[in-house]
Every structure is written in C-alpha cells, then in structure tokens.
Amino acid sequence: MRYLAFLAIILIAGVALADTKLKKTQITKEITVMLPRDFTPLPDDGIARKYPAANKPVAVYSSPNGQVDFSMTQKRSQFGPQDLNMLRDVYKANLLERFTKVDFIRDEVTEIKGKNYIVFEFVSVMADERKSSNLAPVQKYSIMQYTIQGNQLMVFSMHLPFAMKNDWQKTAREVMGSVNIK
C-alpha cells in the first residue's frame, strides 16, 4: 500500500511539473517573456559566477533548484535582420565547435511575435577529453534564439540538464515562443 501511495505522489508531482504556470516578466523596457512563476532573477554576482564571460547577460532567471536557466544577452552587431540566414550557419558552427557533440532538434530561421529569429533546439554533450580524466560527460537540453533589433544582436537561451528534457521541453518551447520585443 505504501508503494502505491508513493507512486501516486510521484505521479502528481510529475503532472505538477509538466503543467508549469507562466507569468509575464519584463526583461527590459522593450522586452517581455512568459517565465515559470517560481523563476527568480539572479543578482549580478550570481550572473558573474554562473556566466563568466566578457559579454555578461542582461538578465538571467533561474528555477528554485538552480538547474533551469533563462538568459538574455545583448551586444552590438554590424549585421541586420536580413542577414539572419547567413548568420545561422556561423552560430551553428560556433555551437558545433563549443561542444563535443550536438544533436539538433530544430535548426531554422522562423518568425516569433512578428520578428525573425534563428532558433536552435538541441541536446549537447560536453566531455572531458583529457586522458587522465574519468569525469562523465555533461548532457544539456537547450533552446537558443538569435535576432537583430536595430544594431543589437539579442540572444535568448534556456538551458537545463538532459535528464529533465521530457518534463521541460513543452514549457521551454512556450517560454521561448513568448519572447516579445516592442
């Protein structure tokens, strides 16, 4: 009987996770996105620790357990929206270079809320290829979207452990499809 009660609790928890409620979140004056209600913004020091890069994200929102992140990065670009098809090949090559293995689920230029975006949905593997290492490869599920607004390249991304993909894929697609730039 305890076993059945335990299974019922797990089933209810799984349904609750799969039906994540989204709320409108203001990223900047011009940008909104629908994020899970329990996501919170990372403070600047948290962003610096989690995303140590020269081009720091404008904003990062994270799940309570810190395993699922939504981020937005912005930087100057010499290119315009008409260049997205050409840039798709460049950014795809960059992803293939960055990870040990990448399996693309989506690789396209598509319209979202009236704007064209490069969209990559993929599973990546990062393996430590040093001979003396015995670390297991890290697998992630990600959706990344690139667009150009004026002279700014905007990159929106959502990353989570591959083990959570089945529970989060629908929600991740909803989140990424809700990005709105005025």
Exposure string of 38-68, with b = 16+ CB inside 10 Å and e = fewer, is ebeebeeeebeeeeeeeeebbbbbbbeeeeb
Per-residue pLDDT of the chain (182 residues; tens, 9 = 90+): 444 444 344 444 444 444 579 999 999 999 999 999 999 999 888 888 888 777 889 999 999 999 999 999 999 999 999 999 999 999 999 999 999 899 999 999 999 999 999 999 999 998 766 666 666 678 999 999 999 999 999 999 999 999 999 999 999 999 999 999 98
Q: Of 147, 168, 145, give the one whose Cα is nearest residue 156.
A: 145
Q: Of 126, 108, 125, give the one whose Cα is nearest residue 117.
A: 108
Mapped onto helix, strand or coil, the DSSP state of residue 135 is: coil
Mapped onto helix, strand or coil, the DSSP state of residue 156 is: strand
What's residue 46's pLDDT? 83
Domains of the chain plus CATH, in order, are: 22-181 (3.40.1000.10)
Query: Rounded to 5 degrees, what are φ and ψ at 94?
Result: -60, -45
What's residue 6's pLDDT? 43
What's residue 10's pLDDT? 46
> Under a CB-based contact definition with an 8 Å cutoff, are residues 117 and 110 in contact?
yes
What's residue 12's pLDDT? 47
Q: How far is CA 157 from the centre of its chain?
A: 3
What's residue 8's pLDDT? 41
Residues 6+ apart with CB under 8 A from 22: 34, 35, 36, 37, 171, 174, 175, 178
What's residue 47's pLDDT? 84
What's residue 16's pLDDT? 45
| Global confidence as pTM | 0.84
> Under a CB-based contact definition with an 8 Å cutoff, are residues 79 and 69 in contact?
no
